[in-house]
Amino acid sequence: MAEEEEFNDTNLEENSDNDNESNLEEDDFWDDDNDNNNHEDYEEDIEDPDILNKLNNFNNLSETEKQQVKQVTTIDLCCKGLTEISSNIGEFTNLKKLNLGENNLTSLPESICNLTQLIELEIHSNPNLKKIPNCFKNLVNLKYFAAGFCGLTEIPQFIRHLSNLNELWLGENKIGVIDDSILHMPQDSEIYLGSQMPENNSKTIIIDKRVYKKFKNHPEILNPLEPGYTYVVQDLEKQEKFANKVRTNIRNIGSNNTNSSIGTLSSLPNSNLENIALYLDPKSLGRLTSTNKTFNALGKKGGKKTKKHHKRKKTNKNYSKKNKKQYSKRRHLKRH
């Protein structure tokens, strides 16, 4: 297929002898001394030792207490065994540092998106945290974001909107595709995406071609690689363009021949037309007058080939009937 034939996949082999590589251990990853060297110190840091209680009971505080609490610029709730965070966190609009790491969180309140002054946000080591609200794109002042050792299955798309971000830690998740979400980050950014184990049991981790080209001289970004896993470079931009074309054609077909389920196809994992069948509603597919027409309409040349094929097949069929009839006639005359 023309849309796929130019794809060039490249395997990235891990080379432990390469002096440029650095395999990061978890102890080094969260090294306190390293944090003190890299993170900014704010002279105006204001903390409250009773912040968790005040956070959970914010609505019961007096107006004076609320105003005092809102002046807090740093909240550290690391290692508290928390399973949820109160939506009242959105009231602390002067926050610059927020640490929710090493808890048992399964979700985050969207009210965090109100904390537009945040510069550092840590939510690492929450193994059951699989999604982060996309409204985090409002955190435009964020410079440091740590979400390693969670259950994330993809790079959060809001990251592409954080123009000030220069430290990103997403290692030890279940991310199977490293897309162009980090393409805007400077080459000297501190990025850690290693040790991914996709939840679909795939041993292949796909990397966008443009991302690989930009950061290929920084192998520490992708290392360490889990045993048995392989990195593969793909032109995801080209695949997405083709996928958009397929979606458009499916919607056109769906509006004329099937129910709306085909027209609402939201994503395709790759550009192979054979796999599209997996994402169509089988019931609606059965209503089509010809399944072949559906797939042929998605490509440029498929329809013409199939039309000729059916025409040739029909001609051969008629020719066979004609020969059979003539043979029977000759046989009948011979016998008589």
Report the CATH number at residue 175.
3.80.10.10
83 within domain boundaries = yes
pLDDT tens track for 115-160: 999 999 999 999 999 999 999 999 999 999 999 999 999 999 999 9
**Which distant-in-sequence residues (6+ apart) come within 8 Å of 170 by Cβ?**
147, 148, 152, 155, 192, 193
Statement to judge: residues 261 and 161 lie in one domain: no
**Bigger pLDDT: 316 or 70?**
70
317 within domain boundaries = no
32 within domain boundaries = yes
Statement to judge: residues 145 and 260 lie in one domain: no
175 within domain boundaries = yes
Statement to judge: residues 91 and 201 lie in one domain: yes
Taking 60 as the threshold, does the pLDDT of residue 271 lie above it? Answer: no
Statement to judge: residues 37 and 139 lie in one domain: yes
Out of 182, 213, 234, pick the residue that ends a domain.
234
Statement to judge: residues 171 and 36 lie in one domain: yes
pLDDT tens track for 158-180: 999 999 999 999 999 999 999 99
Total domain count for the chain?
2
CB 54 within 8 A of CB 75: no
pLDDT tens track for 232-261: 999 888 888 887 777 777 767 656 554 444
306 within domain boundaries = no
Using the 8-state DSSP alphabet, how is residue 225 labeled?
A: P
Statement to judge: residues 208 and 243 lie in one domain: no
Statement to judge: residues 287 and 211 lie in one domain: no
Q: In what order do the strands lie in the sheet with 190-192?
A: 74-76, 97-99, 120-122, 144-146, 167-169, 190-192
Statement to judge: residues 173 and 249 lie in one domain: no
Statement to judge: residues 28 and 161 lie in one domain: yes
As a whole-number percent, the residues of the chain with pLDDT over 90 amount to: 46
36 within domain boundaries = yes
Statement to judge: residues 88 and 39 lie in one domain: yes
d(CA 104, CA 170): 17
The domain in which residue 256 lies consists of 238-296
Q: What is the CA radius of gyration of the chain?
A: 29
Statement to judge: residues 242 and 145 lie in one domain: no
Q: What is the mean pLDDT of the chain?
A: 74
Using the 8-state DSSP alphabet, how is residue 145 labeled?
A: E
Taking 90 as the threshold, does the pLDDT of residue 91 lie above it? Answer: yes
pLDDT for res 111? 97
d(CA 299, CA 212): 30
Out of 200, 215, 234, pick the residue that ends a domain.
234
Statement to judge: residues 283 and 208 lie in one domain: no
55 within domain boundaries = yes
Six token digits for residue 67: 């105003």
321 within domain boundaries = no
